[in-house]
Amino acid sequence: MTMRGPSAEARAKVADRLTERLREVGSRKAAEVGSDLFAAATVVRGEARVRRALTDVSVGGEAKSALTHALFDGKVDEISVDVLATAAAQRWTATIDLADTLEVVGVEALVRSADDAGRVADELFSVQRLLEANPDLRRALGDPARDTNDKQALLRGLLENRTMASTLRLVELAVTSQNRTIAMAMAEYERIAAAIDGSRVATVRSARQLSEREQTRLTDALRRQYSSAVHLNLVVDPELVGGLRVEIGDDVIDGSVASRIDGAKRALVG
């Protein structure tokens, strides 16, 4: 959910307001605020009239904040309303950017409620791997004819007491995403969790499981290269034969044997 222009500045202001307000409360309240903001994002995304009213550039910020209070006071937590009013007062490049931002700050609130953002990121990645390995489960969760509550119940049956409560809630909410698959939503949520943990996400594919020493050396090398802490997602892929393939952001570092073999084949053909 990369944004440009006024929306990028607006998102930063909304995120700052959320962080400021969450300093006042404990983890349970942060989780409640996160769920509130997700619900508000669904309303804004699904109700065109509400979305247009809250993003109308011809209307002043104070008036749009007042409208937000009229719509949400008494229905969600006071902190949630405050964050929503802050969002409505901003200028947005595209109207849909408001809903996307509310979803992002909802994720941030739920991650912060866990007090261990790195573990949330790890667990979200594990769920993604579970989906990749189970095509029947993917089909069930992606079936548009299947009720959302039913999908969430299926996930709870698989994950309850096996992940942190915040992780489970994020996975449940990923099912409600209207413009992408559950896997795509969870990958975005994992990136947000890693950022809160102060790191970037690197997906590392190797032909065998890396030892702890190898993981440490790789983490150190990536940290030096990107001037940031790095959170490793490790995937064993025997098709690589040997070597590593590292994906971090838009960058791909491919040092796998399979890649070199493919390169040699292309050179021979060319």
Distances (CA, A) of 16 to 22, 39, 44: 10, 20, 21
Report field, pTM of the whole predicted structure over 0.85: no
Which residue's structure tokens are 């096996």? 162
Instruction: Give the list of residues 6+ apart from residue 11 with CB closer than 8 angstroms, or none.
Output: 3, 97, 101, 104
Alpha helices in 143-181 (DSSP H): 148-159, 165-174
Q: According to the model, what pLDDT value does residue 181 have?
A: 87
Full pLDDT tens readout for the chain, 270 residues: 677 789 999 999 999 999 999 998 889 999 999 999 999 999 999 999 999 999 999 999 999 999 999 999 999 999 999 999 999 999 999 999 999 999 999 999 999 999 899 999 999 999 998 998 899 999 999 898 999 999 999 999 999 999 999 999 999 999 988 778 898 899 999 999 999 998 888 888 888 888 889 889 988 998 898 888 888 888 888 887 778 888 887 788 887 766 655 655 565 565
Which residue's structure tokens are 């309240």? 29
Give the separation between CA 103 and CA 46, rounded to whole angstroms. Answer: 13
Which residue's structure tokens are 């947005």? 92
- What six digits make up the tokens of 91? 């200028």
Polymer length in residues for the chain: 270
Give the separation between CA 18 and CA 94, rounded to whole angstroms. Answer: 21
Q: According to the model, what pLDDT value does residue 256 have?
A: 72
Strands (E), the chain: 199-206, 229-236, 244-248, 251-254
